[in-house]
């Protein structure tokens, strides 16, 4: 062992992940799509809003690889902008849900006691409410008050930012989706922390006199990360599907902001005549979901090597 | 007397990401009918894998890659899964280390013992159940009739190990293999189990292989002891010869580092420096040479073969060029 | 005799098991009861017994890693029992622990160097500049080369990890170390190495050990005094030589005769104990050993035996033992 470089468990996991072809494919697809979403405004061939009523519902061609929609807008450009929406929502929602989940789960698991019991009761309550119902109710009850509040702010400040209705959409989408997404993270973190809390190395850290904060940060959380990373990978994919589903149902991102969900919804109405309008966003959504799943599976095998056959 | 079991040149490899690593490297062992053999070695020496390979129970990614294991005229290593299952159920009984996890937690213990009899020996259920009750009585479980309907979690560790032994004996085996059956138990319970197995053995012509890391434990149990180191047999001798005249430097080291009640209080124990080599990183020649105080240059040349120790019991054999030379001189 | 390092009086630890949906129903495990002993500076006191006897709980309760349910642990004039984590912190440095399982005793995400630096930097025992030299010194103390500092635990063997765990305890420059089955999980040849290492370190740094083990033969090599525990209570406490030469408590005798002897010709007339240890959820009344004791009589069922000195430093809690020379053992056979 003297002539080898020391290998941390993270590096070991990365080595295992790299050997898994499906996971590497998934990672590549996800990263490629993320890159496209990031540089979208510079690479889209057309403005996603610009209408060309002379070129409506055109089939795919060299000028419009994914064709055009009923207003003559370029579908490829709209799919790319849809990716921006999807990643923005997925990343923000997951980040918010994760932050809530880690804080509540870690505190509940590490300190236990009445807070833990209350927390578990609260997550159970949240999880038992039907998600769709919750989103529809929040949308119906909050959208109007928030919009009129923003209108008021605009009148007071005359700042055009209060006029942007897309912000209301996003805030509502982030909020509602994060609200229904955090409990699984909290439960997972709590379970991890509970099992790690009594490991001898944590007790040894207590015996060394280290503070709870150091113990939680340097001894407990790094060892709880493996399953959490897997859950986040799966969660990002789920969040994208969820965002599309809500937009599809009209309780998510609203037109004209492009979202795969509302594109699918529009395409579905005319799919017998213009199938490309449905196929393009649906296929991209399917590919990215599968890619996240491959990546999640690969991460699971890489981070938890005991499950190896 | 013919050998009941004859292992020749057994090799076992672990499939690793960077190629196979050898864990058992040419083990040759034989066992007579009615004999009890102790297999002693430290963790990773291949003692358990050797025995598991005989009954086809090696874990995933670990395979026997060479050698033969003749049992009643047939090679166990060449048998298919169905033949091995038949052997496991009737001719070879196996007792595992951990009685907590080796029993099915959702099945009554009477049914667990009877099951083997019903499926392997096609005994009708009522007969199998009454046989199971006899077996529970045989292994010293008090009020066996009541215990038949108990679930494993209702029994203590020692009682569960007795149930495991009853299951091992169910098929009326010619050979009982016990893989560290007392390691997880307290010392007073360990003594009970050791006495039980010695008792059972004395009542029948069954052979017993007892795998352990504790030389003291099998001193009173085995007729013969084989000492394993890094996947090879380094010494193989009748029990008295091992304790009277330990010959391999590793056996001597093990005995010297064994704490006993007859030592001087507060006396330092002799210890063997270093650690055993990992599988796949075996040194050339004698695997013990790097830790051996008696090693000479020639030790690294070739893996020493088991040869008779001059002047000791005729069945006393050791794989060490230095100590055999010393004994001859 | 000098003043004791630790004065432990009537230490108790009960665990309440919560059952039911709201944790409202309780069952109580009597893990440790009325543990009283003085631990003298520089000595090794061993605790032996079977699983469930409370020996590990004792170590945890003394270090306040499990908050004691009663009793006191006096160290430097302060009662540690019941101190909260902040009040306990200044004492933590002096009182360390080494665990049994070498595979989970180290944080798998930290290098050996990081694991050892943590207590040194936290307690400001060395400056950043002095740190590398201090790490090398610690590793040398436990017989490891300095290059181990950059290794991760999974790259080490069980014995090496246990050496690192000892080095981590030493990093605080402690006076007292609890060795909680510290060598039980190791192979025989490695056990001897670690045992000798502990003895060397004790000489070098004047350490005091509480050595917890289930193996009486091992204990003989390291202990000045031995306490034998059964179901949460001390049964016998004596200087090592005295305990092994004249064990008085029937449980100690049974435990000793169950130790296998490395001699194939040894006679096999053991003092076999019948049955198994009862559940600590409902320990037997009176003397907790009476349900398995060959000497049990009526008083044993009703009265808890007191620890009594029958010879200098030799204490026994047994109604049947009246003096160091006369027990009713022979009479009953």
Residue A92 lies in a domain: yes
| Element spanning C179, H or E | strand C176-180
| CA distance, residue B152 to nearest chain A CA (Å) | 25
pLDDT, tens digit (0-9, with 9 covering 90-100), for C308-322 = 999 889 999 999 887
- Which residue, A36, A20, A8, is CA-closest to A287? A36
C-beta atoms surrounding A288 within 10 Å: 25
3 state SS of A54: coil
Alpha carbon distance A36, B14 (integer Å)? 45
Predicted TM-score (pTM) of the model is 0.84
Report the DSSP pairing between strands B3-16 and C176-180: unpaired
Per-position DSSP letters for B247-279, written without gaps between them: -SHHHHHHHHT---TTSPTTPPPP---S-PPPT
Percentage of chain A beyond pLDDT 70 is 88
Q: What pLDDT is attached to residue C270?
A: 66
Alpha carbon distance B171, B116 (integer Å)? 7
A170 — pLDDT class (breaks 50, 70, 90): confident
Alpha carbon distance A304, A137 (integer Å)? 40
Q: What pLDDT is attached to residue A308?
A: 38
Percentage of chain B beyond pLDDT 90 is 29
Range of the domain at A224: 11-41+66-304
3 state SS of C214: coil
Alpha carbon distance B110, B119 (integer Å)? 14
Q: Do C105 and A9 touch (CB under 8 A)?
A: no
Angle between helix axes A276-303 and A75-111 (nearest 10 degrees) is: 30
Whether A259 contacts A86, CB under 8 Å? yes
Residue A267 lies in a domain: yes
Q: What pLDDT is attached to residue B118?
A: 85
Alpha carbon distance C112, C161 (integer Å)? 9
Q: Please list, in sequence order, all residues whose beta carbon lies within 8 angstroms of the beta carbon of residue B27, skipping any fewer than 6 positions away.
A: B7, B9, B10, B11, B46, B50, B67, B228, B231, B232, B233
Q: What pLDDT is attached to residue C330?
A: 46
Q: Do A19 and B60 touch (CB under 8 A)?
A: no
Assess whether pLDDT exceeds 90 at residue B7.
yes
Residue A49 lies in a domain: no
| Minimum mean pLDDT range among A68-82, A216-230, C53-67, C306-320 | A68-82
Q: Please list, in sequence order, all residues whose beta carbon lies within 8 angstroms of the beta carbon of residue B232, skipping any fewer than 6 positions away.
A: B25, B26, B27, B287, B303, B319
- Which residue, C306, C218, C300, is CA-closest to C255? C218
Q: What pLDDT is attached to residue A190?
A: 92
C-beta atoms surrounding A53 within 10 Å: 8
Q: What pLDDT is attached to residue A149?
A: 82
Assess whether pLDDT exceeds 90 at residue C155.
no
Which of chain B's residues have a Cβ under 8 Å away from the Cβ of A309?
A: 60-61
Average pLDDT of the residues in A74-85: 80
Average pLDDT of the residues in C183-187: 85
pLDDT, tens digit (0-9, with 9 covering 90-100), for B164-223 = 888 888 888 899 999 988 887 888 888 888 888 888 888 888 999 999 988 888 888 899
Q: What pLDDT is attached to residue B1?
A: 53
Alpha carbon distance B156, C123 (integer Å)? 45
Optimal mutation site among A196, A207, A220, A221, interface C, most CBs of chain C within 10 A: A207
A267: domain CATH number is 1.10.3720.10
Which of chain B's residues have a Cβ under 8 Å away from the Cβ of C222?
A: 266
Residue A47 lies in a domain: no
Beta bridge pairs of residue B318: B235, B307
pLDDT, tens digit (0-9, with 9 covering 90-100), for A258-309 = 788 777 877 777 777 777 777 778 888 888 888 888 888 888 888 876 543 3
Q: What pLDDT is attached to residue C274?
A: 74
Q: What pLDDT is attached to residue C333?
A: 38
Q: What pLDDT is attached to residue B39?
A: 95
CA angle C113, C114, C119 (to 5 degrees): 105
> Hey, what's the torsion of the CAs at A228, A230, A231, A237, to 10 degrees?
140
Alpha carbon distance A118, A230 (integer Å)? 27
Report the DSSP pairing between strands B175-179 and B92-95: parallel
Whose tokens are 């599976």? That residue is A297
Q: Do C189 and B260 touch (CB under 8 A)?
A: no
| CA distance, residue C151 to nearest chain A CA (Å) | 5
Q: What pLDDT is attached to residue C332?
A: 42
Average pLDDT of the residues in B134-160: 86
Measure CA of the first residue to CA of the last residue in chain A; give whole Å: 26
CA angle B142, B147, B152 (to 5 degrees): 115
Q: What pLDDT is attached to residue C21?
A: 54
Average pLDDT of the residues in C280-284: 83
Write out the two tokens for C8: 């432990």
Residue A53 lies in a domain: no
| Element spanning B307, H or E | strand B307-308
Write out the two tokens for B306: 């088991």
Q: What pLDDT is attached to residue A280?
A: 77
Q: Is cis: bond before B317, omega within 30 of 0?
A: no
Q: Do C276 and B189 touch (CB under 8 A)?
A: yes
Q: What is the mean pLDDT of chain C?
A: 87
C324 — pLDDT class (breaks 50, 70, 90): low
Per-position DSSP letters for C33-99, written without gaps between them: EEEEEEEPTT-EEEEE--TTSSHHHHHHHHTTSS--SEEEEEETTEE-TT--HHHHHHHHTTEEEE-
In chain B, where does DSSP find H-type helix?
A: 47-54, 81-90, 109-121, 125-138, 144-147, 157-169, 187-202, 215-219, 239-244, 249-256, 321-328
Residue A142 lies in a domain: yes
How many residues are there in chain C?
Answer: 333
Residue A26 lies in a domain: yes
Per-position DSSP letters for B138-160, written without gaps between them: HTT-SSHHHHTT--GGGS-HHHH
Produce one character per residue of C259-291: b if its CB has 16 or more CB atoms within 10 Å, e if not.
Answer: bbbbebeeeeebeebeebbbebeebbebbbbbb
3 state SS of B102: coil
Asked if C281 is an interface residue toward chain B (Cβ–Cβ < 8 A), one would say no
Q: What pLDDT is attached to residue B329?
A: 63
- Which residue, A261, A295, A248, is CA-closest to A32? A295
- Residue of chain A whose alpha carbon sits nearest to that of B15: A309
- Residue of chain C whose alpha carbon sits nearest to that of A4: C151
- Residue of chain A whose alpha carbon sits nearest to that of B60: A309
Query: CA Rg, chain A, in Å?
Result: 23
How many domains in chain A?
Answer: 1
Provide the 8-state DSSP code for A51. -
Assess whether pLDDT exceeds 70 at residue C24.
no
Alpha carbon distance B246, B242 (integer Å)? 5
ipTM over 0.85: no
Assess whether pLDDT exceeds 80 at residue C241.
yes
Q: Do B60 and A309 touch (CB under 8 A)?
A: yes
Which of chain B's residues have a Cβ under 8 Å away from the Cβ of C42?
A: none
pLDDT, tens digit (0-9, with 9 covering 90-100), for C104-137 = 889 988 999 999 999 999 999 999 899 999 999 9
Q: What is the mean pLDDT of chain A?
A: 81
Asked if A6 is an interface residue toward chain C (Cβ–Cβ < 8 A), one would say yes
Q: Please list, in sequence order, all residues whose beta carbon lies within 8 angstroms of the beta carbon of residue B322, skipping any fewer than 6 positions away.
A: B249, B294, B295, B296, B299
Which of chain B's residues have a Cβ under 8 Å away from the Cβ of A19?
A: 17
Q: Do B17 and A19 touch (CB under 8 A)?
A: yes
Assess whether pLDDT exceeds 50 at residue B234.
yes
Average pLDDT of the residues in B147-176: 87
Of residues A5 and B102, more confidence is placed in: B102
Write out the two tokens for A143: 């959208």
Q: Please list, in sequence order, all residues whose beta carbon lies within 8 angstroms of the beta carbon of residue A295, skipping any fewer than 6 positions away.
A: A23, A26, A27, A30, A233
**Is B264 exposed, middle or buried (CB count within 10 Å of its CB: 0-12, 13-18, 19+)?**
exposed
Assess whether pLDDT exceeds 90 at residue A145.
no
| CA distance, residue C56 to nearest chain B CA (Å) | 15
Q: Please list, in sequence order, all residues whose beta carbon lies within 8 angstroms of the beta carbon of residue B263, skipping any fewer than 6 positions away.
A: B269, C217, C220, C221
Whether A48 contacts A78, CB under 8 Å? yes
Residue A309 lies in a domain: no
Which of chain A's residues have a Cβ under 8 Å away from the Cβ of B17?
A: 19
pLDDT, tens digit (0-9, with 9 covering 90-100), for A183-215 = 999 999 999 999 998 888 999 999 998 988 899
Alpha carbon distance B291, B272 (integer Å)? 7
Which of chain C's residues have a Cβ under 8 Å away from the Cβ of B187?
A: 50, 214-216, 255, 258-259
Beta bridge pairs of residue C7: C38, C74
Asked if C220 is an interface residue toward chain B (Cβ–Cβ < 8 A), one would say yes
Write out the two tokens for B224: 């013969």
3 state SS of C163: helix
In B3-95, where does DSSP find H-type helix?
A: 47-54, 81-90
Which of chain C's residues have a Cβ under 8 Å away from the Cβ of B253?
A: 189
pLDDT, tens digit (0-9, with 9 covering 90-100), for A91-142 = 888 999 999 999 999 999 988 888 888 888 888 888 888 877 887 888 778 7
Average pLDDT of the residues in C286-315: 89
Report the DSSP pairing between strands C6-19 and C70-75: antiparallel
Assess whether pLDDT exceeds 50 at residue C331.
no
Assess whether pLDDT exceeds 60 at residue C169.
yes
């Amino acid at each position: 062992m003297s002539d080898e470089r020391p290998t941390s468990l993270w590096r070991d996991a990365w080595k295992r992940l790299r050997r898994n072809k499906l996971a590497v494919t998934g990672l590549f697809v996800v990263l490629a799509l993320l890159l496209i979403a990031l540089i979208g405004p510079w690479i889209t061939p057309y403005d996603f809003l610009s209408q060309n009523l002379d070129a409506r519902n055109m089939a795919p061609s060299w000028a419009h690889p994914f064709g055009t929609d009923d207003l003559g807008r370029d579908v490829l450009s709209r799919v790319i902008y849809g990716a921006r929406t999807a990643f923005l929502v997925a990343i923000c929602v997951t980040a918010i849900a994760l932050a809530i989940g880690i804080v509540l789960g870690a505190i509940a698991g590490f300190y236990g006691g009445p807070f833990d019991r209350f927390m578990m009761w609260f997550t159970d309550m949240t999880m038992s409410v039907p998600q769709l119902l919750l989103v529809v109710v929040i949308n119906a009850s909050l959208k109007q008050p928030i919009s009129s509040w923003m209108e008021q702010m605009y009148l007071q400040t005359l700042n055009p930012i209060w006029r942007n209705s897309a912000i209301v959409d996003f805030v509502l989408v982030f909020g509602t989706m994060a609200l229904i997404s955090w409990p699984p993270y909290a439960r997972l973190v709590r379970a991890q922390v509970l099992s790690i809390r009594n490991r001898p190395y944590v007790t040894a850290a207590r015996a060394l006199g280290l503070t709870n904060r150091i113990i939680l940060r340097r001894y407990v959380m790094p060892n709880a990360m493996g399953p959490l990373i897997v859950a986040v990978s799966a969660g990002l994919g789920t969040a994208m599907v969820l965002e599309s589903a809500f937009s599809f149902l009209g309780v998510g991102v609203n037109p004209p902001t492009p979202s795969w969900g509302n594109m699918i919804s529009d395409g579905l109405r005319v799919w017998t005549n213009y199938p490309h309008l449905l196929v393009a966003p649906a296929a991209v959504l399917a590919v990215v979901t599968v890619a996240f799943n491959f990546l999640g599976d690969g991460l699971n095998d890489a981070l938890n090597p005991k499950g190896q056959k | 007397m013919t050998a009941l079991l004859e292992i020749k040149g057994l090799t076992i490899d672990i499939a690793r990401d960077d190629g196979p690593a050898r864990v058992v490297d040419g083990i040759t062992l034989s066992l007579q009918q009615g004999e009890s053999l102790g297999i002693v070695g430290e963790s990773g020496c291949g003692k358990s894998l050797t025995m598991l390979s005989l009954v086809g129970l090696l874990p995933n990614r670990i395979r026997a890659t060479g050698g033969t294991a003749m049992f009643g005229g047939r090679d166990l290593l060449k048998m298919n899964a169905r033949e091995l299952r038949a052997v496991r159920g009737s001719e070879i009984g196996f007792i595992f280390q951990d009685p907590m996890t080796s029993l099915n937690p959702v099945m009554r213990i009477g049914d667990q013992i009877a099951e083997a009899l019903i499926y392997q020996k096609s005994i009708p259920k009522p007969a199998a159940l009454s046989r199971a009750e006899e077996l529970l009585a045989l292994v010293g479980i008090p009020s066996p009739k009541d215990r038949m309907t108990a679930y494993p979690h209702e029994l203590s560790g020692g009682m569960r190990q007795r149930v495991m032994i009853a299951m091992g004996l169910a098929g009326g085996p010619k050979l009982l293999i016990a893989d560290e059956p007392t390691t997880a138990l307290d010392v007073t319970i360990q003594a009970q189990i050791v006495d039980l197995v010695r008792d059972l053995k004395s009542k029948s012509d069954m052979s017993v292989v007892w795998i352990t890391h504790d030389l003291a434990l099998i001193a009173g149990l085995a007729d013969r002891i084989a000492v394993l180191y890094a996947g090879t047999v380094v010494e193989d001798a009748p029990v008295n010869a091992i304790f009277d005249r330990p010959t391999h430097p590793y056996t001597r080291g093990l005995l010297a580092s064994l704490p006993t009640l007859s030592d001087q209080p507060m006396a330092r124990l002799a210890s063997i420096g270093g650690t055993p080599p990992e599988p796949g990183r075996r040194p050339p020649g004698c695997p013990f040479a790097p830790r051996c105080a008696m090693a000479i240059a020639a030790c690294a040349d070739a893996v020493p073969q088991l040869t008779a120790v001059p002047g000791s019991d005729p069945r006393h054999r050791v794989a060490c060029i230095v100590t055999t030379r010393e004994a001859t001189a | 005799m000098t003043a004791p390092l630790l004065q432990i009086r009537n230490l108790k630890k009960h665990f309440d098991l919560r059952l039911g949906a709201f944790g409202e129903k309780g069952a109580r495990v009597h893990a440790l009861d009325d543990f009283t002993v003085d631990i003298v500076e520089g000595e090794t006191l061993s605790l032996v017994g079977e699983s469930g006897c409370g020996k590990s709980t004792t170590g945890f309760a003394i270090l306040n890693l499990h908050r004691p349910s009663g009793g006191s642990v006096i160290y430097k004039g302060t009662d540690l029992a019941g101190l909260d984590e902040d009040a306990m912190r200044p004492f933590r440095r002096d009182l360390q622990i080494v665990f049994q399982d070498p595979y989970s005793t180290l944080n798998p995400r930290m290098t050996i160097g990081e694991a050892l630096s943590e207590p040194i930097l936290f307690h400001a025992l060395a400056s950043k500049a002095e740190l590398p030299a201090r790490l090398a010194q610690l590793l040398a103390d436990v017989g490891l080369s300095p290059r181990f500092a950059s290794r991760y635990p999974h790259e080490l063997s069980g014995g090496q990890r246990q050496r690192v765990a000892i080095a981590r305890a030493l990093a605080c420059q402690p006076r007292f170390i609890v060795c909680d089955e510290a060598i039980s999980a190791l192979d025989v040849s490695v056990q001897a190495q670690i045992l000798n290492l502990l003895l060397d370190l004790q000489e070098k740094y004047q350490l005091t050990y509480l050595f917890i083990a289930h193996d009486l033969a091992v204990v003989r090599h390291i202990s000045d005094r031995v306490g034998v525990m059964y179901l949460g209570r001390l049964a016998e406490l004596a200087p090592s030589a005295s305990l092994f030469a004249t064990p008085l408590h029937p449980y100690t005798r049974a435990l000793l005769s169950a130790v296998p002897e490395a001699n194939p010709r040894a006679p096999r007339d053991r003092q076999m104990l019948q049955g198994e240890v009862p559940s600590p959820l409902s320990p037997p009344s009176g003397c907790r050993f009476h349900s398995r004791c060959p000497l049990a009589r009526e008083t044993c069922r009703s009265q808890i035996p007191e620890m009594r000195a029958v010879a200098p430093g030799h204490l026994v809690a047994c109604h049947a033992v009246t003096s160091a020379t006369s027990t009713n053992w022979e009479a009953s056979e």
